[in-house]
Amino acid sequence: MQTVAVIDYGGSNLRSVAKALESVAAAGTRIVVSAEPGTIRDAHRVVFPGQGAIGACMDGLRAHGLDAIVTAAIASGRPFLGICLGLQTLMRASAEDGGTDGLGIVPGHVVRFADALRDPATGARLKVPHMGWNRVRAVHPHALWDGIAARSRFYFVHSYYVVPEDPADIAAVTDYGFEFVCAIARDNVFATQFHPEKSQRSGLRLLANFLAWNARG
């Protein structure tokens, strides 16, 4: 049996991620939402979802001793999927909450959309947070894109976005006033700013691809 651990750091949206994974999981796959370090350490695959503020997220990780567990899970080479805050916390630091240190697993930082963000074509002001459906452009092939049409729409809810230092880590971009990074891929890590669990067919396909991924790219 394959076990997939969904990390429970005290945040929201965990159950919807677990339910989405269950809906695409093959027979013999067990989806577990857990804050227990041992459960996460022993899982075959790890999913780190989240929404809200990064300060509370990092506090929750540290309170449960999960910051070290996340780092160890990634270092082990097991397939790892980050969603929303599960992407942002992988960076070295975020501008949110007055400045918050991340896990430092991927070189880069997290910044906020400008309040005066505008559509370059129409000049119309764009709302922050960025909320709703947007087309995603994959920048290089990856197993998690298998079966997903080019420039498919995914669902976003966020005010901050990641800026990786190494362009090789960029898996996908999208446009919201400008082009920004919405997914990264590095070795056994794949992480998205968008919410695949809220993205209907394309999102479920990405989750199914993750459950089948051999973590070699």
User: Can 84 be counted among the known catalytic residues?
Assistant: yes
User: Measured between alpha carbons, how far is residue 143 from residues 26, 125, 199, 215 in Å?
Assistant: 17, 36, 18, 9
User: Can 197 be counted among the known catalytic residues?
Assistant: yes
Residue type, 106: V
Q: Assign residue 200 a region: left if phi > 0, alpha if psi is -120 to 50, beta otherwise?
A: left
Instruction: State the catalytic residue, choosing from 84, 130, 158, 182.
Output: 84
Per-position DSSP letters for 119-160, written without gaps between them: -TTT-PBPPSSEEEEEEEEESS--GGGTT--TT-EEEEEESE
User: Can 57 be counted among the known catalytic residues?
Assistant: no
Name the residue with tokens 């429970």: 8
Instruction: State the catalytic residue, choosing from 64, 130, 158, 195.
Output: 195
Active site residues: 84, 195, 197
